[in-house]
Structure formats: structure tokens, C-alpha cells
Structure 1
Amino acid sequence: MFDIVIFLLLLSMLIILYRFLKGPTLSDRVVSFDVMSIMGVSLLVLLALYFQRSLYLDIALVFGLIGFLGATIFGRFIEKGL
């Protein structure tokens, strides 16, 4: 069960990576960055459940905070500039 979910999550991350690299606008790239960070956190949580290691949950928490801050900073840059 975990194998199928992890495979589908990685496949969808590859599709989002394509949008990140080829996005026509900067807004598309920011949204795809945010989606990839959320999917990365989800992948780390699934790996924590699969391997029964709580260390991955700590890493997922930090990665989630960094992804949120990154998306917020990019959004502010698009809106007003630095």
C-alpha cells in the first residue's frame, strides 16, 4: 500500500517539477514550488510511517516551515518587490 502511494506521490512531484521549470509566469513557478514543498512534507510523513522512524517527522516539520516561508517570501516579492 505504501509503495503505491509513494510512487504516485513521486510521479506527481515530477509533473509539478516540469511546471516549475517550464512555467510561463513567475506566479506558476511560485505555486508549483509551494505544491512541491507540501508534497515533500507528505512524502517524509509517509516514509516515517513506513520505516517507523520519528526522525523523519522532525525533518518534515522543519521542511514544512521552510517551504511556507519560501512561498511567503516569493509571494511578497511578486506583489511588491524586495
Structure 2
Amino acid sequence: MPTRILLWADAASMVLICIAFVLTVYRIVRGPTLPDRVLGLDVLVSIAIGFMALFAIKTGYALYIDIAIALGLVGFLATVAFARFILVKGAQASAVQDVVEEGDTPLGMTPRTAGGRHE
């Protein structure tokens, strides 16, 4: 009886993980913004970790748990790197917007005036 329950739980878990995988890939492809896609990739790493844990339970090999832990670390570092990229990109866009609103020219750009140079 416990073996039968484990088989049903394994099959149900595999189906749910596959559904979550498909929905997450859809979100990554259709995500309207970059943070949506980064979050989708983070969820995709979590789904892969769950799949590896499920596979480790099914096969009985503990090595898959070690691989899942390493994948979790890599996924975390990738998410932090993407978040930093988004933060820097947003700060640069905000700085350019502030300069444009003040009527000044951003650093490294020359004003387009009709008769001379800006000194």
C-alpha cells in the first residue's frame, strides 16, 4: 500500500511540475517587462530544483540533491546579477530623464544649437 501511494504521489508531482514548467516558460516569453522575465527565470530554477529532488526520491540517488543545491546557488547568484543590472539600468535612465527635464544636456552630449558651440 505505501508503495502504491508513493507511485501516485510521484506521478501527480511530475504532472504538477510539468504544468508549472510550461506556465513559467509562457511567462518568460510573454513577460511584458524585464523584471517579469527575471522572476520567471528564478521560478524556472526553482522548478528544476523540485524536479531534481523528485527524481532523487524516485531513483534513490542522493547525488541529485547535491546537484539541486548547486543549481539553487547558481540561480540565486544569477537573480542577484540580473537585479543589479536592472537597478543600474533604471538609475541611468532616471538620471538622463532628470537632465532632460532640467533642459541641460547629458554628459558627453553636445547641444544642438543653430549657430555655434556651447561653452
TM-score (norm 1): 0.93
Which is higher, the Rg of structure 1 or of structure 2?
A: 2
Give the partner amino acid of 1:42. G
Q: What are the residue-to-residue correspondences of 1:1-82 with 2, within 5 Å?
A: 1-81=9-89
Question: Which consecutive segments of 4 or more residues in structure 1 shift more than 6 A?
Answer: none
* Percentage of pairs with the same residue: 35
TM-score (norm 2): 0.65
Point out the structure with the larger helix share.
1
Two-structure CA RMSD over aligned residues (Å): 0.9
Instruction: For structure 1, list consecutive stretches of 5 or more residues without a partner in the other structure.
Output: none
Give the partner amino acid of 1:59. I
Shift of 1:20: 0.5
Measure the CA separation in 1 of the matches of 2:29 and 2:21.
12
Measure the CA separation in 1 of the matches of 2:15 and 2:61.
20
Measure the CA separation in 1 of the matches of 2:23 and 2:71.
20
Shift of 1:42: 1.1
Matched residues, number: 81
Instruction: For structure 2, list consecutive stretches of 5 or more residues without a partner in the other structure.
Output: 1-8, 90-119
Structure having greater relative contact order (Cα 8 Å, sep ≥ 6): 1
Give the partner amino acid of 2:63. L
Measure the CA separation in 1 of the matches of 2:65 and 2:74.
14
